Structure 1
């Protein structure tokens, strides 16, 4: 069955910009893992007439329609009532859901208002999806060759409901027998357009596995998804496609799935039993902060110094006065001395230094986005790297940290 999915998010608060539609993002990602195609996202306010119109439109172009929100106890929670009207079916009380709600109020020693009983109403003949983290159950129903699914709006309820119950129902309803295996390849140092150019023919000819590029946070990811009745064969298909991609862009591949470039760097440092220290002007401690968020960092991180002011660079990090006067704080030479001196001060094997101009105004006649990174490896010549980045102040700082990780891993790989 070719899947054409539409996700309809219900709630005026979404249209008013009071909350973001993270449910559609979550569901799209999870459906992609299953090889289920999402073609449309729709957002509708708490209005029955407009919701009916959205349902009628969705039925003309999708065979899976997933609703989020509008299952609560108040008058503006209209999703299941509207869908029941559209399908010409009745709402009935689900005894298990009703008992769960009553037990909740008894357990919390609160009085249940009459409108809470509304949450136990479900579409007649539907599969009830248990809500382990709230009161309103979800529902799933197949009618006229279309699958309808309803989930509560709070992400803390929707996400486990889909993972624990909705996913299984969907696969069974689709009669899916193939094993669906996904693998995410993570790249840094290459833009989305350049990566797509390198593998353009693979994307154009994709069938199984599929290849889905995604850019974000200065990185690019490729999601590979393979289907086969045998899991080992699906994995082999992924391996073959990854091998072709590695031939074109392997130098930029740093990790898989939910890993980060900082996690991968820490793993390398732990494996090689190397210690590191940081001197941070531009990044203001962001490199050390992100490193300490990774498990096992205590074995490799000696410490860091935030050296925003020039006097701190000179007095604490021993950057030469003539360097600051002649070359400036935002310079190749300053980054070099920051890396070398913090390595000596902290008695570590690696020193990394960041200096630059993140904006909003230029400094020392250097344009915003000018970044210098110095990396000092014990017993090796210190390397410096110049970046010319664009974007917001926050984006420049975050990308500078990632580039620091990327360049350091490249240097360590060259040695190994």
Structure 2
């Protein structure tokens, strides 16, 4: 957990200094990414929203992941992760009109496979608001270990994705505080 807390501290400090806001959508991590960010003093200046959309229908109903995408590929998919990141970023912008970064996790924690996807497969999605418009990306991972090891690996991957996104110099500033 030390790596996660170090990453979180760096993310919160860098985002706060640049007035960058973050929203998190989680499935297999079950709130672990948001919880790690919240452990960091100052998180309230950057974290706008955390949503755990564990059930597939919640990915569609709450995060607005297209039903056709879910029907075609299922919930364990890189494009679903991007759609989740977009959905949570849009939800986080309801009262202010904007949120800079949406990050999402989806996958199979195990112990068994899910719809042909092995335990340990997960995807991280990002949507960024930049001065040139919306930018999306995803990464796919396959790790070994029990449920907790997979969830921890996915949370670390999401935090690393956030940390890398903050390297960009073209992110749009949105807020001095989420309070």
TM-score range for the pair, normalised by the shorter chain length: 0.7 to 0.9
If asked which structure has higher relative contact order (CA below 8 Å, sep 6+), I would say 2
C-alpha RMSD of matched pairs (Å) = 1.8
- Count residues in correspondence: 162
Alignment partner of 1:334 is 2:76: no
- SS state of the match for residue 336, structure 1? helix
State the secondary structure of the residue aligned to 1:380. strand
Normalised by the length of structure 1, the TM-score is 0.38
Q: Could you tell me which of 161, 166, 173 is aligned with 1:407?
A: 161
The answer to whether 1:368 aligns with 2:119 is yes
Q: Retained in 1: the 8 A contact 2:111–2:119?
A: yes
In 1, Cα distance between the equivalents of 2:146 and 2:169? 35
Larger radius of gyration, structure 1 or 2?
A: 1
Instruction: Tell me how far apart the structure 2 counterparts of residues 303 and 322 of structure 1 sit (CA, whole Å).
Output: 26
Asked if the contact 2:7/2:163 (under 8 Å) is kept, the reply is no
Q: Which residue of 1 aligns with 2:23?
A: 277
Matches within 5 A, 1:72-111: none
Alpha-carbon distance between aligned partners in 2 of 1:353 and 1:273, rounded to the nearest angstrom: 21
Deviation track 1:115-163 (CA, whole Å, cap 9, x = no partner) reads xxxxxxxxxxxxxxxxxxxxxxxxxxxxxxxxxxxxxxxxxxxxxxxxx
Structure 1 residues 271, 218: closer, same or farther in 2, change over 3 A? closer
What SS does the aligned partner of 2:134 have?
coil
Deviation at 1:411, TM superposition (A): 2.4
Q: Residues 388 and 218 from structure 1, CA distance in 2 versus in 1: closer, same or farther, beyond 3 angstroms?
A: farther
Find the partner of 2:66 among 313, 320, 324.
Answer: 320
State the alpha-carbon separation in 2 of the partners of residues 328 and 292 from structure 1.
30
Structure 1 gaps of 5+ residues are: 1-216, 220-253
What SS class does the counterpart of residue 319 from structure 1 fall into? coil
The offset of 1:218, in angstroms, is 9.4
Which runs of 5 or more structure 2 residues have no equivalent in the other structure? 94-98, 171-179
Would you say the 8 A contact 1:277–1:351 is kept in 2?
Answer: yes
Contact kept, 8 Å, 1:283 with 1:401, in 2: the verdict is yes
Cα distance in 1 between the residues matched to 2:14 and 2:2? 21
- TM-score computed with the length of structure 2 as normaliser: 0.85
Inter-partner Cα distance in structure 1 for 2:31 and 2:79: 20
- Correspondence for 2:103: 352
1:304 shift after superposition: 1.0
Quote the Cα distance in structure 2 between the aligned partners of 1:303 and 1:413. Answer: 22
- 1:76 corresponds in structure 2 to none
Distance in 2 between residues matched to 1:218 and 1:397, nearest whole Å = 15
